[in-house]
């Protein structure tokens, strides 16, 4: 043991480990200091990352379409059928909307506006490891983006910003183990919390926990954001229930949810900056 401590190399190893441990505890508390390190590095590499990211996504999409060619005719017929059905739904929806406006005005309720102030951003990089699900986008503080703002696509929720620099932002995807979003089942209005890929959800799926035991949840139910928690506005589509299970020794049940957005093929996203004039995100 004494011989071990006489060895300079072990001391050096210990010093490096201590310095890194100190850096971890210090930068975890001091976000501004951490951003001072991040800003020049990300600014320097982001143009190259942007080009490579776009090129690789184009190749990926190109490769993905080759096997799809054979199924295009059948898919086209199905889509035309769906368009006809959706046209009918649209008419019905417009009618309900008009009726809703009239009824709300009769009851004296404030009109709800689902218009968001969006900022379009491009995905310029992804977490290099296999454990975390973080993406890097090319817009930041200069474009009015703050920490804890919801990030969406035209299909649904992607995640929320966790760290913002002058011209970049890091987005925690909903599939990340550290992610947590308040959600509800659209049909039954049961509330729960949507967690990233944790036991027993398969990778790429999310788990909705704290659902009431008596909730009648079935496969195919749509999950939307509940608006609780203040980060993600209410009503954004998150995904579809693929499995619902009651926990045997608990008063709750959980559902495995397949995200609506293909998080592997993200190219362009929108950051929700505000809704109804209320600024999103946390103040610095």
Q: Which of 7, 97, 264, 282 binds another protein (CB under 8 A)?
A: 264
Strand intervals (E) in 134-248: 134-137, 150-152, 157-164, 169-173, 180-185, 191-195, 206-212, 222-225, 237-246
Length of the chain: 284
Question: Rounded CA gap, 266 and 122, in Å?
Answer: 9
Could you say which of 7, 14, 15, 21 contacts another protein (CB under 8 A)? 21
Taking CB under 8 A as the criterion, which residues in 113-132 touch another protein? 124-132
* Residue 252 binds to another protein (criterion: CB under 8 A): no
13 makes contact with another protein (CB under 8 A): yes
Q: How far is the CB of 106 from another protein (least distance, A)?
A: 48
Cβ at position 9, least distance to another protein in Å:
8
CB atoms within 10 A of CB 208: 28
Q: Work out which of 14, 59, 79, 80 binds another protein, going by CB under 8 A.
A: 59
Q: How far is the CB of 145 from another protein (least distance, A)?
A: 16
How is residue 94 written in tokens? 């417009």
Q: How far is the CB of 275 from another protein (least distance, A)?
A: 26
Binding mask 215-234 for another protein (x = CB under 8 A): --------------------
What is the rounded distance in angstroms from the CA atom of residue 193 to the CA atom of residue 228?
10
Q: Which of 119, 145, 159, 170 binds another protein (CB under 8 A)?
A: 170
Q: Is 214 exposed, middle or buried (0-12, 13-18, 19+ CB in 10 A)?
A: exposed
Q: What share of the chain is helix, strand, coil (3-state, %, to 5)?
A: 40, 30, 35
Candidates 199, 220, 277, 283; binder of another protein (CB under 8 A) is 199
Q: Are 168 and 138 in contact (CB under 8 A)?
A: yes
CB of 65 vs another protein, minimal distance in Å: 14
> Using CA atoms, how far apart are residues 279 and 277, in angstroms rounded to an integer?
6
Segment contacting another protein (CB under 8 A): 102-110, 170-178, 212-220, 230-238? Answer: 170-178
- Does residue 205 touch another protein according to CB under 8 A? no
Close Cβ partners of 150 (under 8 Å, ≥ 6 residues apart)? 157, 159, 160, 225, 231, 232, 233, 236, 271, 272, 280
The nearer residue to another protein, 18 or 155, going by C-beta atoms, is 18
> If phi over 0 gives left and psi between -120 and 50 gives alpha, with beta otherwise, what is residue 220?
left
Question: If binding means CB under 8 A, how many residues of this protein chain bind another protein?
Answer: 51
Residue 141 DSSP label: G
Considering only 35-43, 104-112, 236-244, 254-262, which stretch makes contact with another protein by CB under 8 A? 35-43
> Cβ contacts of residue 34 below 8 Å, gap of 6+?
27, 163
Binding site for another protein (CB under 8 A): 13, 16-17, 20-21, 23-24, 26-28, 31, 34, 37-38, 41-42, 45, 48-49, 52-53, 55-57, 59-60, 63, 124-132, 134, 136, 162-163, 170, 177-178, 195, 198-200, 202-204, 264
């Amino acid at each position: 043991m004494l011989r071990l401590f006489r060895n300079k190399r072990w001391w050096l190893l210990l010093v490096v480990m201590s310095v890194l441990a100190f850096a971890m505890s210090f930068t975890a508390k001091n976000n501004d200091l951490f951003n001072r390190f991040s800003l020049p590095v990300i600014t320097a590499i982001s143009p190259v990352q942007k080009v490579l990211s776009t090129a690789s996504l184009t190749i990926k999409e190109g490769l993905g379409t080759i096997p799809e060619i054979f199924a295009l005719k059948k898919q086209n017929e199905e889509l035309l059928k769906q368009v006809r059905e959706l046209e009918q739904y649209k008419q019905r929806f417009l009618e309900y909307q008009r009726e809703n406006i009239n009824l709300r005005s009769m009851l004296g309720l404030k009109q709800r506006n689902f218009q968001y102030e969006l900022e379009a951003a491009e995905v310029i990089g992804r977490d290099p490891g296999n454990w975390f699900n973080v993406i890097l986008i090319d817009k930041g503080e200069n474009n009015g983006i703050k920490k804890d703002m919801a990030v969406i696509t035209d299909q649904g929720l992607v995640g929320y910003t966790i760290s913002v620099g002058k011209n970049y932002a890091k987005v925690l995807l909903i599939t990340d183990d550290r992610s947590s979003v308040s959600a509800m089942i659209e049909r039954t209005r049961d509330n729960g919390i949507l967690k990233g890929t944790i036991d027993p959800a398969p990778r790429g799926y999310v788990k909705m926990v704290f659902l009431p035991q008596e909730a009648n949840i079935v496969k195919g139910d749509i999950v939307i954001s509940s608006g609780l928690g203040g980060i993600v506005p209410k009503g954004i589509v998150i995904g579809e229930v693929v499995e619902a299970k009651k926990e045997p020794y608990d008063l709750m049940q959980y559902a495995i949810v397949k995200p609506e957005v293909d998080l592997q093929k993200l190219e362009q996203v929108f950051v929700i900056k505000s809704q109804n004039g209320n600024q999103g995100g946390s103040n610095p």
